[in-house]
A and B are shown apart, each in its own frame.
Chain A
Amino acid sequence: MNETVLNDYQLKDGFIDEVYKSPGIVHDNYKDILNALGSLGITDFDKLNESTKLAFLNLGITYAVYGEGNQGKEKIFPFDMIPRVIDYEEWERIEKGIIQRNTALNAFISDVYNEKKIIKDKVVPSELVYSSEHYLKEMEGFKPPGGIHNHISGTDLIRHKDGNMYILEDNLRNPSGVSYVIMNRKIMHRSFTSIFKSKELLPVSVYSEELLKMMTSVSSRRSDAPVCVLLTPGQFNSAYYEHSFLAQEMGIDLVEGRDLFVVDDIVYMKTTGGPIRIDVIYRRIDDLFLDPDMYYKDSVLGVSGLMNSYFKGNVTIINAPGNGFCDDKAVCAYVPDIIKYYLGEEAILPNVPTYICSREDDLNYVLDHMYDLVIKPVDMSGGYGVVICDSVSKELVEQTREQIMKNPRKYIAQPKMYLSTHMTYIEDNHTFEPRHIDLRTYALMGKDKTYVLPGGLTRVALKKDSLIVNSSQGGGSKDTWVLK
């Protein structure tokens, strides 16, 4: 690959690019990487790219698309070989911001299920909480071991056109994808050694160790070696690779609901050496599947009697059930207020600016700037009722305006966000082109400390101009470096 191939890189107007400051001017952090790329011919790069894909396949880092019979078509999550770099200074700020945010969210969940002070003080409207289908009444009055609800949080960030990082959303139920962070790094080390030259990176491979430490720290039973397991829905689940990877890395058993049973409110697993008592369950199944006695009666994924055992304090469930109301988009808008309320601090990482129409100032702004905004009903789910005002008919915008004026409490509004771009290899064209990216970070909250995985998962929208990075919509991922 010669200079000209890289020089053909066309920046996208109106967006920040992570690699180039301006046409032809590369960010210092990326100079070595572009040099390493430049030293390869396009044929060599293609070869490297193919052998990397093969490594993912042979290691079985795949998700299956199941059809009829056994014809499971397996796919790899597309991986882009050009790493995303975050400098240490910026990472420190992100890390602090993530810890602050998740600490406040934990206090919020605990408060909502117990004293409900924040609701009584009218900082967060009660209907926002109680109308959520993820709010679990059974959790009221219960304090999980160590007081922790969101043991594992996945926080999604983007870089806007003003150059700042913004929080897009919180995932406090079962954030996935962390196995890709670790394997992306491993495979990059294997196949693209030259690119690591003279770079010192914060390690990601310690994640599973930190995860096990966190799990051990919140065991309900005092013991030097509490028995921890990972509960999977089974090998037909699309995230099964991750479940088995994490269990293997931690050296704990990967169990299914049918491996567990409850006697006298104690959870056991069936082993060849007889029943073994379980202390901590990292479950990768949804709340309502956990216990057929309490929720979905026909759930075969869960364990009968598990919730009673949990409420008696005999077993720890990670994450705690009932977190779902809190990663709702509408609640997200209140997080800066939530942080201030519990910690007395300003949020380090800003939210994507959100206008809450029940506030008069916000309402006036929204009504004056409809065409710059995306309007969302607060109780929305699955994207229903979202109006992107600059891309729908004038009629619909005016209709929406009337709706907001009639019932402002039902709406929030956000500006359209301009996700930054990153140099990405486009296989079909054999070229390097800018594509939009985001960043999912992973935080582990244990009894005494919170660990944030350095970097996280950079997701990239491989479709040209697409702002949607989800893997279901043609998204891929990149190795994410935090420089020491």
Chain B
Amino acid sequence: MLSRVASNIYWMGRYLERSEQLARYTKVQYFSMYEAPSLQNKDFVLQSIINMTGIEYTERPNESLNEQEIIRKVGLDKESDSSIFFFVYSARENARSARNVLSDELWEAINTYYRYVNEFSDEYYVTRGLYEFSLEVNRHNYIIKSCINHTLLHEFGWMMISLGYYLERTIQIIRMLSNKLFDIALLSENGKNVALEEYQWTTTLKILEAFDIYRRYIKNHPNAMSQENFIIWHKSFPRSIVYNLGKVHELVTRIANWEGGHDKLIFQTGKVYNKVKFFTPEEMEDPQDFLSELLAEVYDLHSSISAAFFD
């Protein structure tokens, strides 16, 4: 495969995943405003969205945050490179450059996704459309992932796309968890508030589409892990950090079999994966330190992937 095309479909996977994660984060966060126990004010929620999505927003002194402006910047801002529109646009442009390695079905699914986002009315989105939009973004991503898994040979191209989205998912989970821990710390500044903390974890699990799963899990496990540990260490939860690092390692191992030898990369992904896998909650002193160190290592994995396959 052309190196450029391999790089493009890897990025296609990353952008698709990013669009999905950020849409869900924004939706769950936003609507949590309306269900939350008092104390949790609107600015707090909006600030959390700004932190997570990395949009550029200039606060005006003595004014509350502008809800509609923030929502628009996260979703449909066509000039920004951190909006969901931009991620979908980029995923589709990457797909467009690689059509001869994608299936017709996959291409059409991605193209339809792009058209949906591109044609979504700005005004409707910021006033009433956020829920519908986020739901559809989720749905399009499920269709696309189904096409990725069911209409491609599970060979090099498929692995590149999958590697892109598992790596991106790992990154976004780490960032999301870190962001939520930060929120919780902020809320506890004036003393611990159990109800509020609990509510933050509910939000967090919902962002990962794991609220139900986790509820069932603790019911059946007397010594269940905390939400935080569940998200980091549960080995069969598909949105845990360790699960996704495992996938990254597995894919890299398989790719090497196809394209002949990237031992350094295999070693590196194995190292990061096993470090998390064999680390225990008791050894973790400061979760934020742990997460930020891990994030740096995952970014390094990206550099190594680029060096191994695209340069």
Contacts and interface: CB of A to CB of B under 8 A. Distances in A.
Interface of A: 57-60, 68-72, 235, 240, 244-245, 247-248, 251-256, 258-259, 269-273
Interface stretch (B62-70, B93-101, B135-143, B234-242): B93-101
A240 B111 contact: no
Interface stretch (B1-9, B246-254, B284-292): B1-9
Interface string B77-112: 011000001100100010011011000000110011
Nearest to A270: B3
4 closest residue pairs by CB, A with B: A248-B100, A60-B111, A244-B99, A270-B3
A69 B79 contact: yes
Nearest to B86: A70
Contact of A235 (B79, B97, B111): B97
B115 A244 contact: no
A258 B99 CA distance: 18
A258 B4 contact: yes
B111 A271 contact: no
A259 B96 contact: no
B44 interface: no
Contacts of B78: 69-71
Given A60-B111, A70-B85, A272 B100 contact: no
Given A70-B89, A247-B100, A272-B156, A259 B115 contact: no
Contacts of B96: 60, 235, 240, 244
A255 B134 CA distance: 36
Given A71-B78, A244-B100, A272-B156, A58 B112 contact: yes
A259 B4 contact: yes
Contacts of A68: 79
B152 to A, nearest CB: 14
A190 to B, nearest CB: 13
Contacts of B156: 272
Contact of A256 (B4, B89, B93): B4
A271 B78 CA distance: 33
B309 interface: yes
A253 B1 CA distance: 8
Bin chain B's interface residue count. Answer: 20 to 34
Main secondary structure of the interface of B (DSSP, over half): helix
A259 B2 contact: yes
A269 B310 CA distance: 13
B259 interface: yes
Contacts of A245: 99
B260 interface: yes
B53 to A, nearest CB: 17
Contacts of A69: 78-79
Contact of B3 (A57, A59, A240, A259): A259
A70 B108 CA distance: 20
Contacts of B108: 58-60
B259 A269 contact: no
Contacts of A244: 96-97, 99-100
B100 A254 contact: yes
Nearest to B89: A70
Interface string B1-24: 111111000000000000000000
Nearest to B94: A235
Contacts of A57: 115
Nearest to B156: A272
Contacts, number: 66
B2 A59 contact: no
Contacts of A270: 2-4
Contacts of A251: 100
Contacts of A273: 1, 259-260
A60 B106 CA distance: 12
Residue in B2, B6, B85 with the greatest tally of chain A CB atoms within 10 Å: B2
Contacts of A253: 2, 5, 100
A252 B1 CA distance: 10
B308 to A, nearest CB: 9
B72 to A, nearest CB: 14
A58 B111 contact: yes
A252 B89 contact: no
Contacts of B4: 256, 258-259, 270
B311 to A, nearest CB: 9
Given A70-B86, A258-B4, A273-B1, 16 more contacts: A59-B108, A60-B111, A235-B93, A240-B96, A248-B100, A252-B100, A253-B100, A254-B100, A259-B4, A270-B2, A270-B4, A271-B3, A272-B1, A272-B156, A272-B309, A272-B310
Nearest to A54: B115
Contacts of B115: 57-58
A428 B99 CA distance: 35
A59 B100 contact: no
B99 A272 contact: no
Interface string B285-311: 000000000000000000000000110
Contacts of B99: 244-245, 247-248, 254
B94 to A, nearest CB: 10
20 contacts: A59-B108, A59-B111, A60-B96, A60-B107, A60-B111, A72-B89, A240-B96, A244-B100, A248-B99, A253-B2, A253-B100, A255-B2, A258-B4, A259-B3, A269-B2, A271-B3, A272-B1, A272-B309, A273-B1, A273-B259
A381 B259 CA distance: 52
Contacts of B260: 273
Contacts of B86: 70
Given A244-B100, A252-B100, A272 B259 contact: yes
Nearest to A241: B96
Interface string B134-166: 000000000000000000000010000000000
Interface in B29-73: none
Nearest to A58: B112
B184 to A, nearest CB: 36
Contacts of B79: 68-70
Contacts of A58: 108, 111-112, 115
B304 to A, nearest CB: 14
A272 B111 contact: no
Contacts of A247: 99-100
Nearest to B97: A235
A273 B2 CA distance: 8
Nearest to B4: A259
Contacts of B107: 60
A248 B5 CA distance: 13
A269 B6 CA distance: 13
Residue in A71, A251, A272 with the greatest tally of chain B CB atoms within 10 Å: A272
B81 to A, nearest CB: 9
Nearest to B85: A70
Nearest to A276: B2
A272 B89 contact: no
A273 B96 CA distance: 22
Nearest to B100: A248
B298 to A, nearest CB: 22
